[in-house]
Structure 1
């Protein structure tokens, strides 16, 4: 069962897990657990391929980050609302021959958190990139899931992956083929579990998934709201550089200009409401708020609650 106790405390952590990999919080009456699936080492160009290398270098220098490649966090959420236990995205799974050995930790870390896969009633997929669906393809996982599991994906996302267009992306070699193959395998194995929605769908009390588009045509965000509190899981709509440089194009974006519009609108919305934000690739546990700073934004991480 998902404990209300903050499982960031490494009481039962193995010696090779000295860095916390899960963090619990409450959003009103909704229980939330942010789980790290590990990290993805990627070229720094991936965070802004539409700007001069000197501009990127300046940002990375100011952030004390390496200039050639750095580790993207990979965060997943487990949410309990009423009688529903919802997995929001599923991590990378096994390494698709792309030298990503430090990701794909989700299934093991769910077990270490005391979460049995049979508890999961719903899965929300923000989009069908391999680092969001691959955990469901790990050997032995499907057999442990409930036969009445519901997987929620925007209809336009499903349609896109029937014949995906990578012409406007800027990915390292091998990634388009791996993304395409993983999406195809996912649909083959889980198509009968998928329930699509057009623009917005309530998964459970206070848990709503909304299509934004941009990053992929069916990219979606998930908003939790209960007891006057709210949190948005933004998937890949927001990256670390996107607060100060919201118009920088990410290499995985299938429509970079629309992605920037979606990002700016979402950040303005969150800056206006003061609600919490979690995103897939913000530094773990990625929980924070957004403040507006002229035409840019500022990410304000929450103080950890022990």
Structure 2
């Protein structure tokens, strides 16, 4: 694999509880919520909340379909994970910067006949956190897979959003989904059709709200979306920076297995080799800066940092701040 970085420089980023008078309020605890589903912090002057959209079960082969089956099984065993299928976490982020409230990704939404009953929780969890959909000024989509846009096509949701809502997405992503090519992916049956249908519905419902960009777009003070490609042609990450603090939301550029095995191919990747290069470069950069990382499919709240581990990397989760 590509050579990993040789040193790590942890930053002085410190997690802080968000004061009660900010946009984010604790809300009422849901009667059926047995585990935490949202986590608030500050990046300088920027308020951030990580919100769980639930989990979805997928075959373990999708974590590294180019890896030897025995090696992959051994990694799963070492991580105390089941051998055949396990639950992928789903995370989205709400950001308050200046006068803008930004939702980064929109969750799965309704189950598209794929038996995913524990996913699609984002909207109700935003409501439990007292975040009114009508207060969202901008949405950034890391890409247009159904677990990132599906929440927007649930019946009645569009009517609750602002008419002047801005949805930021890379132009390459929009172009790709006009005629998607899945020849290099490795997805379970039913997923390709569900992905196509959800993306088509999203574009039909929200085309007038799209604000596309080529490579990089500033969404609000200190909030920048940057296209990486790889996972999908228009996949992007979102970096928050304020003062001497920073956090990167990596979308689907990084999965749990990607620290130990960054060159393993994920089944949803449309260009697996490019996705591996993007992953390694991003991990190398994050290990160098020591800034916080959040990603869609890391275990909630998915906050942590990246360190170097020999010729690979190591995930260092943060200690929760109560």
Q: State the TM-score, normalizing by the size of structure 1.
A: 0.97
Equivalent residue number for residue 139 of structure 1: 155
Partner in structure 2 of residue 266 of structure 1: 282
Q: How many angstroms does 1:14 deviate by?
A: 3.0
Is 1:120–2:115 an aligned residue pair? no
SS at match of 1:147: coil
Distance 1:85 1:288 in 2: 23
1:236 partnered with 2:252: yes
- Cα distance between partner residues in 1 of 2:316 and 2:230: 24
1:98-126 CA deviation, whole Å, 9 max, x = no partner? Answer: 01110000110000000001100000000
The Cα offsets for residues 265-294 of structure 1, whole Å up to 9 and x where unpaired, read as 000000000000000000000000001123
Equivalent-residue separation in structure 2 for 1:54 and 1:10 (angstroms): 45
- In the alignment, structure 1 segments of 5+ residues that lack a partner are none
Q: Which runs of 4+ in 1 moved over 4 A?
A: 5-11
**Does the Cα contact within 8 Å between 2:58 and 2:86 map onto a contact in 1?**
yes
- What is the Cα deviation at residue 7 of structure 1? 12
Q: Which residue of 1 aligns with 2:305?
A: 289
Deviation at 1:13, TM superposition (A): 2.2
Q: Alpha-carbon deviation of 1:139?
A: 1.2
Q: Which of residues 157, 174, 197 is equivalent to 1:181?
A: 197
Q: CA deviation at 1:295?
A: 2.0
Q: Does 1:99 align with 2:115?
A: yes
Which residue of the partner structure matches residue 248 of structure 1? 264
Aligned positions of 1:1-306 closer than 5 A: 4-5=19-20, 12-306=28-322
Contact 1:125 1:151 in 2 (8 A): yes
Alpha-carbon distance in 1 for matches of 2:118, 2:27 = 22
Distance 1:118 1:7, change over 3 A: closer
SS of residue in 1 equivalent to 2:280: helix
Mapped contact 2:24–2:130 kept (Cα < 8 A): no
TM (norm. structure 2) is 0.92
Measure, in 2, the Cα distance between the counterparts of 1:277 and 1:246.
Answer: 16
Secondary structure, counterpart of 1:161 in structure 2:
helix
What SS class does the counterpart of residue 76 from structure 2 fall into?
Answer: helix
Per the TM alignment, residue 10 of structure 1 is displaced from its structure 2 partner at its CA by: 8.4
Q: Identify which of structures 1 and 2 has the higher relative contact order when contacts are C-alpha pairs closer than 8 Å and 6+ apart.
A: 2
- Distance in 1, matches of 2:94 and 2:68, equals 38
Secondary structure of 1:55's counterpart equals helix
Aligned-residue Cα RMSD (Å) equals 1.7
Contact 1:224–1:231 (8 Å) recurs in 2: yes
Could you tell me how far apart the structure 1 residues matched to 2:31 and 2:225 are? 37
- Distance in 1, matches of 2:158 and 2:237, equals 24
| Count of residues in correspondence between the two structures | 305
